């Protein structure tokens, strides 16, 4: 039996599409004299840190961001010492040696982290890339408050000791272009960043790159758009599709009906209907919230999810599909050309980020395209 059959479902990841998405976004930044980093946290948004990072690096990406220190350690092992790797969680107590050993750059988000960094021996600081400093301009999450940022900027010794290479912030409402907070964050970040002329400004996330040139600054920081999720909700997706999730039909049952299907008897099918069972469920990251709401695609036919998504199985109504097409072994797309990831997310009442990062480990992962050895 092939590994694909053993896994039941196949997650295909198009590395060429990933590279094309980075190039598209980097070209937007380049028009304003900037460049795009690559955000590869969450195991490359669930698609595999090593193949994602190798592909982005081969495409020209030269700055990377991760969320956690362990992710930075893994990324450094993949990329070697050629590029800066910024760790968004910052310099936690007792982690300085790890940052130095693996040449990771902390993103300093609190006065305590700045003080911790300043206490490090100069020799240890020299082993790290220059850090970033995070200003909170409206997210109210990580980052120096305005008062803390101004206190830091007023302290010439602190600024000299830290000598940040990058200043970052995080946009709260970039996917809502008309929201007033976008302009407020832009003005505040511009005011604070202008006091550090030697540091690059990193302002725009995926959606921020579509707010206009005044949001570009020096270093774009796209994440989810790289992986094909639409950064412009309500408008056509400018990004290339990166993932396709397909699963074979395990069984087709004819309904003598009317009969209920699935847990809780939440859906009743009429006489003459046909229901197909595929081996994917919420244990694989296919949300239970898609029960009686989601869709798959069998060839050119969209087929609705019927009944409740269970741990390992999902049911699709294939009554409209010719019987010779809807047969055991035929593949149903759960994410694909007819079922975009943003639609899956909307039907589940969530966002594409969550769908991507919850894709499970039981799939057979197939990487297409990309640089030689990226998927090894």
From the annotation, which residues make up the binding site? 141, 311
- In the numeric block, the tokens 């005044």 are attached to 214
DSSP strands (E only) in 147-300: 166-168, 200-202, 219-220, 243-254, 259-261, 267-269, 274-278, 295-298
Decide if 263 is catalytic.
Answer: yes
Say how far apart CA 312 and CA 12 lie, in whole Å: 19
Decide if 117 is catalytic.
Answer: no
What H or E segment, with its residue span, contains residue 306? strand 301-306
- For 7, residues 6+ apart whose C-beta sits below 8 A from its C-beta are 362, 363, 364
- For 327, residues 6+ apart whose C-beta sits below 8 A from its C-beta are 249, 252
∠ Cα 87 91 92 (to 5°): 115
Judged by phi (left if over 0) then psi (alpha if -120 to 50, else beta), residue 171 lies in beta
Q: Which of 45, 254, 263, 363 is catalytic?
A: 263
Return binding residues for substrate.
141, 311
- For 259, residues 6+ apart whose C-beta sits below 8 A from its C-beta are 268, 269
Q: Which of 41, 45, 363, 367 is catalytic?
A: 41
Bridge-partner residues for 64, per DSSP?
A: 38, 85
Say how far apart CA 216 and CA 219 lie, in whole Å: 7
DSSP strands (E only) in 54-199: 64-66, 85-87, 105-108, 132-134, 166-168
Active-site residue list: 41, 263
């Amino acid at each position: 039996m092939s590994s694909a059959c053993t896994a039941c479902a196949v997650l295909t990841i198009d590395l060429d599409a990933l590279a094309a998405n980075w190039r598209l976004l980097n070209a937007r930044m380049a028009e304003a004299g900037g460049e795009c980093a690559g955000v590869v946290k969450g195991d490359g948004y669930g698609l595999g840190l090593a193949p994602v990072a190798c592909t982005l690096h081969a495409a020209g990406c030269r700055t990377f961001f991760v969320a956690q220190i362990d992710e930075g350690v893994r990324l450094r092992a993949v990329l070697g010492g050629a590029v800066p790797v910024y760790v968004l969680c910052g310099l936690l107590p007792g982690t300085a040696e790890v940052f130095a050993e693996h040449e990771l750059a902390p993103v300093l988000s609190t006065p305590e982290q700045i003080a911790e960094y300043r206490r490090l021996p100069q020799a240890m600081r020299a082993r790290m890339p220059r850090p970033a400093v995070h200003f909170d301009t409206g997210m109210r999450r990580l980052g120096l408050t305005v008062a803390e940022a101004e206190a830091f900027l007023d302290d010439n010794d602190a600024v000299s000791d830290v000598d940040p290479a990058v200043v970052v912030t995080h946009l709260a409402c970039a996917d809502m272009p008309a929201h007033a907070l976008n302009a407020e964050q832009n003005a505040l970040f511009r005011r604070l960043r202008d006091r550090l002329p030697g540091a690059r400004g990193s302002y725009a996330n995926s959606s921020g790159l579509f707010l206009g040139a005044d949001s570009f600054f020096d270093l774009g920081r796209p994440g989810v758009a790289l992986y094909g999720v639409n950064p412009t909700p309500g408008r056509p997706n400018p990004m290339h599709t990166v993932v396709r999730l397909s699963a074979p039909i395990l069984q087709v049952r004819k309904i003598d009906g009317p009969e209920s299907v699935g847990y809780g008897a939440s859906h009743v099918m009429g006489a003459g209907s046909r229901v197909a069972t595929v081996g994917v469920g919420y244990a694989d990251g296919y949300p239970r919230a898609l029960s009686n709401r989601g869709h798959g695609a069998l060839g050119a036919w969209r087929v609705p999810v019927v009944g409740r998504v269970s741990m390992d199985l999902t049911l699709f109504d294939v009554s409209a599909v010719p019987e010779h097409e809807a047969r055991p072994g035929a593949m149903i797309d759960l994410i694909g050309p007819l079922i975009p990831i943003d639609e899956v997310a909307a039907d589940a009442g969530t966002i594409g980020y969550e769908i991507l990062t919850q894709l499970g480990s039981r799939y057979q992962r197939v990487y297409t395209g990309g640089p030689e050895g990226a998927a090894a």
